[in-house]
Amino acid sequence: SMKLCLCEGSLGGLKVLAAAKATAAPVEVQWLPQEAHVVPFLTRPQLPALQLENGSFLFSTNVISQYFFRLSGKESNFNNEQSDFANQFFEWDITELEPALSAALYLHVVQEKKGEDVLGIIRKPLDYLDQILTKKGTSYLTGDVESAADIVLWGSLFPLLRDDSFLPNELKALRSWFQNMNLKEYCRKAVESVWTPKGLLELKAYLQKHPAPSLAFEKSATNEAKEEESSQQHLSDVEIEAIAEIWSRGSASLPSPWQPQHPILPVEGMKNVLITSALPYVNNVPHLGNIIGCVLSADTFARYCRLRNWNTLYICGTDEYGTATETKAMEEGLTPQQIC
């Protein structure tokens, strides 16, 4: 059977457990420590996680919730519009709602902020959700019956909106929907299991180990206007005429390519550029993935500089020529210079 691996205090645990209970999914629930390493191909602990009967793993909370609903056939009668609408909510939850909620929850739980300090961060997504519910005029996000989208958004919102002060009274449609979801038995059971006193302590400890989330995507309209203005370059009539004249001459008028003399030394009166790049090691072995990354980027810039007719010296290699690099080169049937 399927195994749903959870930990108390998990932010994503509410939605996946509620979805499992709402659909009566044939799944065995395993409660593990927060640092448990369940998914073998991930380098860090990731809970919740769902192990399927064939051994595969799902570790996106939204995907797990959707999977339970599709497995149960509860959304089999959805039309295309309802399915598209639900998918838009899943994407909005990940890209807009969760980042804002993470930042707000950090302020509230770790820094013990209250009021507008917290509400100001989530006001925009809450307003948006209230407008959607008001416009649709239905009890749930996709119609008159709850769907995976309702449970996903409820699970994202609950950790913060369980404090009633963060849900403004004027957002009547959102408040009615959220309170209705709180009364669902599967949501209450999920809260009782995940949102325990022990879980709250573990959540706070987890958040304290990490830096405060930043809302880098949030830009004010004023800043955007300034950026757009500064990005526009206005050319004078003289400059435009000069550009047109140079363009009309064609490639024949371009300066001849600079032919550097070896050894490459600084030339007075020219722009002289030195390009070098560190060669990283992992356990005393040259890491070929990083070699490719650093060497190719430096080489690309060197080619650009030469095309600009700058006197360019490009040197990239290793400080351990006679050890690990040579050994690796011999294994590959190459010279140390070729492998770099």
CATH 3.40.50.620 boundaries in the chain? 260-338
Of 45, 14, 15, whose CA–CA distance to 209 is shortest? 45
For residue 280, the model assigns a pLDDT of 59
Record: fold of 260-338: Rossmann fold (3.40.50)
Give the three-class secondary structure for 195.
coil
As a three-state string, the secondary structure of 46-93 is CCCEEECCCCCEECCHHHHHHHHHHHHCCCCCCCHHHHHHHHHHHHHH
Mean pLDDT, consecutive 10-residue stretches, the chain (340 aa), reads: 91 94 94 89 87 92 94 82 88 92 89 85 93 91 90 94 89 94 95 91 82 59 47 65 78 78 88 80 58 74 91 73 66 76
**Backbone CA torsion sign across 328, 330, 335, 336:** positive
| Helix then strand then coil, % of the chain, to nearest 5 | 55, 10, 35
Do the Cβ atoms of 153 and 130 come closer than 8 Å? no
For residue 312, the model assigns a pLDDT of 93
What is residue 285's DSSP assignment?
A: E
For residue 220, the model assigns a pLDDT of 44
CATH 1.20.1050.10 boundaries in the chain? 2-209
For residue 229, the model assigns a pLDDT of 47
For residue 98, the model assigns a pLDDT of 92
Do the Cβ atoms of 320 and 328 come closer than 8 Å? no
Give the three-class secondary structure for 28.
strand
Burial of 7 (0-12, 13-18, 19+ CB in 10 A): buried
Tokens describing residue 76: 């089999």
Give the three-class secondary structure for 209.
coil
Record: fold of 2-209: Glutathione S-transferase Yfyf (Class Pi); Chain A, domain 2 (1.20.1050)
Do the Cβ atoms of 155 and 61 come closer than 8 Å? yes
